[in-house]
């Protein structure tokens, strides 16, 4: 018995239509109480659209189209009715109110997805992907989550896991049947196979970092001496006049952030205070904040004024960022190039914020620096922290196994690491039973009363 | 048949194979009056297949049986003619003892032990019926018409139940090794609601030593440095015998393939399910066509016989084909076959009907052990017999059952696999079945289990005290290794150099040196001045505990995670039909098997991890109400 839940399932925005989703044993009878059409929904065929009106307390709320999906062929595998009303908040909310008054209860966060998972419609990593899609900030992030929903992550992980189990099988054959003249796996053979596996796992982890960026956004710091045009660059990239742009050096004392979409990557772009040696007190606080911000950034845009000489301050800032992913942005190419930039300064790109020159190239470079040039959303990608942690643990176990073989342990000992690795990976796809997974679910989906 | 009331006993044991012997001895030693039945007393503790005790993982079982106060290890130590530690080139978790046994002497040794055991009577008779009152065991009836009133009964019928011998087109009702079958008991069990399976197993031919040319074979010797099975064996016997290795060849395979339509396995006259890991020679040849040869071990059956066992040639082909194929093998050109290889089909029961105590869930007082529970192997049988005997005795005394879990013993793994996962072929123990095998080593079986055996009353006061002393010595020595400092000196560095190990320039803990891959506890003796005199087995245990400390710790962590799920109890009477999201198969299996905790539930075949997640959420939600 599943009680009947309802919620507005479209984002609350100025869209053309809004959908109120109802799921549960009584979905049809609940919907029938508010729906008035040619025939009642309980007589409607599965996967049919039914035109009618939403009536609440004797009044017409809106015109609507009701789609009916009967168990088990629905998102939750329960009876589902989706009431499509006109967009905008008022219609949707009044319709939901009517539905709740007719016997449904409001769904908890993620509850439709939870039901889909509990009813066997999707595995854990797919359910988590749905949560990611809901949260995703750009189209690219969403397409990665969609891939996961389609089971790509599950398949990728299962392939690696199957390979581990195959190796384990070979190891146990030679330990359990020592007299048989089967080809037993030597330490060297085992190691070779493990190194190959480790490569696949490393690729997953690399992609995981990218996945995190797609999900949570890359933190990108604009840094440089005062008055090289940092705030102007922020405004230019974000297309909004948010940062105060003046000609007095040291105007930005706090960090100004903007969320922008650069070629599909959600980027948190931060304009930091200009860094220089001689500063007033208030500005010093700004500089400290800037230094801290730069430390945490995934990418630094090091801004240089082409119209001025490369100074000690520039060199100082460069030394701060040179070991992080960075792009040296030489601004004000509209002015004469006087900067005489030292040779060791790398990853240079020339732009003019004022003339809007080189901005497209800069955006491309930001994209490529964050994701690497040959990135595709078709790659198996880990976006979820729990998944990444599991893969990281699996990687550690594989490394321990290789290390054990290197230091003279026999394959049957390394097998203990391999069993662990397989278990860690199994936690992602739900092949391994662990109550940690359950805790995760309880933290992600609101359960209980 | 005229019935008469015979004597009263606490426990009846049906069958006197390896399971029956351990069950009867354990129950009697725990103070119960026990009667054990065998169709033929000359079949007591027989090895109708290979004349071996032990092997990979099986050797572990024997040592655990011994630590709990069972008989198999001691009997094997008294009668082996060759003994060997397998897998010595591999990690300590998979070292396993295997011995060639003098079959007849083993039987005599065991029979006499039974005959001398206080509280125990043995009887040659076939049990044809078990009586029940209110669904509980109340007595057994023999083919002589004798009714014995009992409070508990252990069924350990091996391959006797409706045994059917198959050799080519020849089929007849019979038990193993020329014994009579037990044809009546199955029907009585079916009536009591027991679900029966039909399994199959087989054994190769026996040949005469005079007809074998050993010059054409490779000799296989036992260990020079002998470790016995029993922790109480002080002066193990020498090796007295050798085995030989030879191979099949293309000619052998051709004869098999030419006659494959006469093989019962391939012309479908055998219906029972056989073990995958112990295939007949025709099965091997058909399934592994590319393999040019298969190994054949020639093993002596005992010192007072010229009979030899042909390991690797199990078959149910017609006798003439068997002779022809044997004679293609190098060294067997003129072989005389004394006993023909055969396959045997038999009734056994679905072991998921049992609790971890090996008592039937739905039939109080009825226990099962050995091949009757779907296992294969003497050691697997003995281990179950011991546990069933112990629990039959505890039942009579109205005490809580004794069980072992997967983190405590191979016996725990064996019984958990059988009773929770179930089996669809004769089950054999393997080291890879034990998740925590580095903790369940054969060398520390006494540390794991002697205390429990003592508590049950199966380990003598004297042996227990010796064990405590040994345990203290090894714990102290492990402790000392982690604390004693080895300062750099010429002597130390010379030794390290000779072992191709890096020299030291500052002091280092002895334990750190032992953990170096190229070193071990024994090699460091010359530079370890304060080392106490220790027995070899204690020293070996110290070496393993120190050397593999990292992995041991890791496995201890794994056990903690395992125990967490074992301790997550499933409410009694949970109505699985109400748990939305459980797959139909999972619902049925869970409702049928009634697992006590999430750990058990997760091991039931047909219950997926996704089902367990659903179940965990359901239970958690119930709690949060």
Which residue, among A4, A113, A117, A120, would best test binding to B if mutated, counting the most B CBs under 10 Å from its CB? A120
CA distance B145 to B139: 12
* pLDDT band of A446, cuts 50, 70, 90: very low
CB-CB under 8 Å, B564 with A433? no
The region of weakest confidence among A187-196, A330-339, B478-487 is: A330-339
Confidence at residue B576, expressed as pLDDT on a 0 to 100 scale:
92
Tell whether A182 lies on the interface with B, counting CB pairs under 8 A.
no
C-alpha torsion A101→A105→A106→A108, nearest 10: 180
Q: Does B94 touch chain A (CB under 8 A)?
A: yes
Q: Do B612 and A175 touch (CB under 8 A)?
A: no
Instruction: Over range A19-48, report the average pLDDT.
Output: 92
A434 touches chain B (CB under 8 A): yes
- Write the residue in A119, A433, A442 that is nearest to B612 by C-beta: A433
When pLDDT is averaged across residues A228-235 and rounded to a whole number, the result is 84
Q: Specify the higher pLDDT residue, A131 or B516.
A: B516
**Residue of chain A minimizing CA distance to B622:** A448
Contact call for residues B378 and B47 (beta carbons, < 8 A): yes
pLDDT top residue among A380 and B85: B85
Contact call for A124 and B612, based on CB within 8 A: no
CA distance B544 to A200: 34
Q: Which of B550, B557, B609, B622 to mutate to test the interface with A (most CBs of A within 10 A)?
A: B609
Give the pLDDT score at B107.
Answer: 98
Of B56, B297, B617, the CB nearest to A175: B56
The answer to whether the CB atoms of B430 and A172 lie below 8 A apart is yes
Element (H, E) at B596: none
Digit-coded pLDDT (tens) for B70-108: 999 999 999 999 999 999 989 999 999 999 999 999 999
Sequence-ordered list of residues with C-beta below 8 angstroms from that of B389, at least 6 positions apart, any chain: B11, B13, B22, B23, B24, B25, B26, B27, B30, B154, B369
For A277-288, how does the pLDDT look when each residue is reduced to its tens digit (9 = 90+)?
A: 655 555 577 777
Q: How far is CA A243 from the centre of its chain?
A: 27
Token pair of B324 as six digits: 């022809």
With an 8 Å Cβ cutoff, is A168 touching chain B?
Answer: yes
Residue by residue, DSSP assigns A385-412 as: HHHHHHHHHHHHHHHHHHHHHHTT--HH
For each of the domains in chain B, give its residue range(s) and CATH number, in order of start.
Answer: 4-162+353-456 (3.50.50.60), 461-556 (1.10.10.1800), 568-624 (1.10.150.570)
pLDDT for position A448: 35
- What would the pLDDT profile of A395-440 be if each residue is shown by its tens digit? 999 999 999 998 888 898 999 999 899 888 887 776 665 555 555 5
- Residues of chain B scoring pLDDT < 50: none
Find all residues with CB under 8 Å of B468, minimum gap 6, and list them: none
Contact: B431, A172; criterion CB under 8 Å: yes
Share of chain A above pLDDT 70, in %: 74
What is the predicted pLDDT for the residue at A282?
A: 53
B500 touches chain A (CB under 8 A): no
Cβ-contact B391, B357 below 8 angstroms: yes
- Give me the pLDDT at residue B39, please: 97
Candidates A123, A179, A438; nearest CB to B610: A123
* CA distance to partner chain A, nearest, from residue B569 (Å): 13
- The torsion of the CA quartet B484, B486, B492, B496, rounded to 10 degrees, works out to 80
Identity of the residue in B87, B558, B617 whose CB atom sits nearest the CB atom of A178: B87
Nearest CA in chain B to A420: B558
Measured between beta carbons, the chain B residues lying within 8 angstroms of A447 are 617, 620-621, 624
The whole-number pLDDT of residue A447 equals 43
**Which residue in A has a C-alpha nearest to residue B518's C-alpha?**
A408
Q: Which residues of A touch B621 (CB under 8 A)?
A: 447-448
CB of B329 closer than 8 Å to CB of B249: yes
CA distance B55 to B297: 14
Contact with chain A for residue B218, Cβ under 8 A: no
Token duo for residue B5: 């009331």
Question: For position B127, what pLDDT does the model report?
Answer: 98
CB-based contact (8 Å) between A177 and chain B? yes
Give all strands (DSSP E) within B61-102, no chain letters: 80-86, 96-101
CB of B613 within 8 A of CB of B433?
Answer: no
CA distance B428 to chain A (A): 11
Please give the pLDDT value at position B616. 82
Q: Nearest-CA distance from A90 to chain B in Å?
A: 35
Are residues B90 and A412, on separate chains, in Cβ contact within 8 Å?
yes
The C-alpha atoms of residue A130 and residue A149 are separated, in whole angstroms, by: 7
CA distance B560 to B417: 20
Only one residue has tokens 């080392």, namely B531
Decide: B379 and B401 in contact? Cβ < 8 Å.
Answer: no
Q: Choose the closest CB to A448 out of B561, B614, B621.
A: B621
A119 contacts B87? CB cut-off 8 A = no
Top residue of B56, B617, B621, B623 to mutate, by most chain A CBs within 10 Å, is B617
Distance, in Å, from the CA atom of A110 to the CA atom of A122, rounded to the nearest integer, reads 14
Query: Which residue from B91, B438, B613 is facing A437, i.e. has the nearest CB?
Result: B613
Taking CB atoms and an 8 Å limit, are B581 and A124 in contact across chains?
no
Model pLDDT, residue A241:
57
Instruction: Please tell me the distance in Å from A49's CA to the nearest CA on chain B.
Output: 28
B57–A176 CB contact, under 8 Å: yes
Inform me whether the C-beta atom of residue B287 falls under 8 Å from chain A C-beta atoms: no
Find, among B31, B97, B88, the residue nearest to B62 by Cα. Answer: B97
Q: What is the dihedral of CA B449, B455, B459, B465, to 10 degrees?
A: 90
Residue B314 · residue B281 · CB < 8 Å = yes
């Amino acid at each position: 018995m599943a009680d009947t839940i309802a919620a507005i399932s479209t984002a609350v925005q100025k869209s053309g239509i809004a959908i109120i989703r109802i799921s549960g044993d009584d979905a049809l009878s609940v919907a029938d109480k508010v729906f008035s059409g040619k025939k009642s929904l309980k007589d409607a065929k599965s996967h049919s659209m039914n035109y009618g009106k939403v009536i609440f307390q004797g009044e017409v709320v809106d015109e609507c189209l009701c789609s009916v999906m009967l168990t088990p062929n629905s998102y939750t595998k329960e009876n589902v009715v989706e009431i499509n009303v006109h967009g905008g908040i008022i219609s949707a909310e009044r319709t939901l109110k009517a539905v709740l008054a007719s016997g449904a209860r409001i769904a908890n966060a993620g509850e439709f997805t939870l039901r889909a998972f509990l009813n066997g419609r999707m595995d854990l990593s797919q359910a988590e992907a749905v949560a990611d899609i809901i949260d995703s900030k750009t189209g690219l992030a969403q397409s990665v989550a969609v891939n996961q929903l389609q089971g790509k992550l599950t398949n990728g992980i299962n392939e690696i896991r199957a390979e581990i189990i195959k190796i384990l099988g070979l190891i146990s054959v030679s330990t359990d049947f020592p007299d048989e003249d089967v080809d037993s796996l030597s330490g060297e053979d085992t190691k070779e196979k493990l190194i190959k596996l480790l490569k696949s796992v490393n690729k997953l982890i690399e992609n995981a970092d990218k996945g995190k960026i797609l999900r949570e956004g890359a933190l990108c710091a604009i840094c440089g001496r005062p008055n090289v045009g940092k705030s102007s660059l922020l405004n230019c990239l974000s297309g909004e006049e948010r940062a105060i742009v003046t000609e007095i050096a040291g105007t930005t004392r706090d960090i100004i952030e903007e969320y922008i979409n650069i070629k599909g990557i959600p980027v948190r772009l931060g304009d930091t205070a200009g860094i220089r040696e001689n500063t007033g007190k208030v500005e010093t606080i700004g500089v400290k904040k800037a230094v801290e911000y730069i430390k945490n950034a995934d990418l630094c845009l090091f801004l240089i004024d082409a119209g001025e000489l490369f100074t000690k301050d520039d060199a100082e800032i460069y030394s701060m960022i040179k070991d992080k992913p960075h792009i040296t942005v030489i601004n004000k190419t509209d002015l004469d190039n006087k900067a005489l930039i030292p040779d060791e300064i790398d990853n240079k790109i020339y732009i003019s914020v004022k003339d809007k020159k080189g901005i497209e190239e800069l955006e491309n470079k930001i994209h490529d620096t964050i994701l690497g040039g040959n990135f595709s959303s078709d790659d198996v990608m880990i976006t979820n922290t729990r998944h990444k942690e599991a893969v990281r643990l699996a990687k550690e176990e594989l490394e321990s196994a290789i290390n054990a073989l290197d230091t003279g342990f026999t394959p049957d000992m390394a097998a203990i690491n391999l069993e662990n690795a397989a278990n860690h990976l199994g936690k992602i796809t739900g092949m391994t039973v662990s109550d940690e997974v359950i805790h995760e679910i309880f933290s992600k989906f609101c359960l209980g009363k | 048949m005229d019935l008469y009331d015979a004597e009263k006993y606490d426990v009846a044991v049906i069958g006197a194979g390896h399971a029956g012997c351990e069950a009867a001895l354990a129950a009697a030693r725990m103070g119960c009056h026990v009667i054990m039945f065998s169709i033929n007393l000359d079949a007591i503790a027989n090895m109708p297949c290979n004349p071996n005790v032990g092997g990979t993982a099986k050797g572990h079982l024997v040592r655990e049986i011994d630590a709990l106060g069972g008989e198999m290890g001691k009997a094997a130590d008294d009668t082996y003619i060759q003994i060997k530690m397998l897998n010595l080139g591999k990690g300590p978790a998979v070292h396993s003892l295997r011995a060639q046994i003098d079959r007849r002497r083993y039987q005599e040794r065991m029979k006499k032990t039974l005959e001398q055991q206080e509280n125990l009577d043995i009887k040659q008779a076939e049990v044809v019926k078990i009586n029940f009152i209110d669904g509980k065991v109340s007595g057994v009836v023999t083919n002589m018409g004798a009714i014995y009133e009992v409070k508990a009964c252990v069924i350990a019928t091996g391959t006797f139940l409706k045994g059917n011998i198959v050799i080519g087109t020849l089929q007849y009702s019979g038990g193993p090794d020329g014994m009579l079958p037990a044809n009546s008991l199955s029907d009585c069990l079916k009536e009591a609601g027991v679900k029966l399976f039909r399994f199959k197993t087989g054994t190769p031919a026996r040949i005469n030593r005079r007809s074998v040319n050993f010059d054409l074979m490779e000799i296989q010797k036992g260990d020079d440095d002998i470790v016995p099975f029993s922790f109480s064996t002080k002066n193990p016997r020498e090796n007295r015998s050798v085995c030989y290795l030879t191979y099949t060849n293309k000619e052998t395979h051709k004869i098999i393939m030419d006659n494959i339509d006469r093989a019962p396995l391939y012309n479908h006259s055998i219906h029972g399910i056989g073990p995958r890991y112990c295939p007949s020679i025709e099965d091997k040849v058909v399934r592994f066509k590319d393999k040019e040869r298969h190994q054949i071990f020639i093993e002596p059956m005992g010192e007072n016989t010229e009979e030899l066992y042909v390991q690797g040639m199990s078959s149910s082909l017609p006798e003439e084909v068997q002779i022809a194929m044997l004679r293609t093998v190098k060294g067997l050109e003129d072989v005389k076959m004394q006993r023909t290889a055969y396959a045997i089909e038999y009734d056994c029961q679905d072991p998921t009907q049992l609790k971890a105590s090996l008592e039937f869930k739905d039939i109080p007082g009825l226990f099962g052990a050995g091949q009757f529970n779907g296992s294969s192997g003497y050691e697997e049988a003995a281990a179950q017999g011991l546990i069933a005997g112990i629990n039959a005795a505890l039942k009579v005394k109205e005490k809580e059952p004794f069980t072992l879990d997967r983190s405590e013993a191979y016996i725990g793994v064996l019984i958990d696999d059988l009773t929770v996962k179930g089996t669809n072929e004769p089950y054999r123990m393997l080291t890879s079945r034990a998740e925590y095998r580095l903790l369940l080593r054969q060398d520390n079986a006494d540390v794991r289990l002697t205390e429990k055996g003592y508590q049950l009353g199966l380990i003598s006061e004297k042996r227990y005290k010796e064990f405590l002393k040994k345990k203290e010595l090894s714990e102290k020595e492990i402790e000392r290794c982690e604390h004693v400092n080895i300062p750099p000196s010429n002597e130390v560095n010379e030794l390290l150099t000779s072992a191709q190990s890096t020299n030291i320039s500052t002091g280092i803990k002895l334990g750190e040196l032992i953990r170096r891959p190229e070193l071990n506890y024994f090699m460091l003796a010359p530079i370890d001045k304060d080392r106490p005199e220790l027995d070899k087995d204690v020293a070996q245990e110290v070496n393993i505990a120190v050397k593999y400390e990292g992995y041991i710790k890791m496995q201890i962590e794994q056990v903690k995670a395992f125990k967490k799920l074992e301790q997550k109890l499933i409410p009694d009477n949970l109505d699985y039909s109400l748990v939305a999201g459980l797959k139909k198969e999972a619902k049925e299996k869970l409702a049928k098997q009634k697992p006590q905790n999430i750990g058990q539930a997760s091991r039931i075949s047909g219950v997926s991890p996704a089902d367990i997640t659903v179940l965990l959420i359901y239970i958690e939600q119930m709690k949060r109400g």
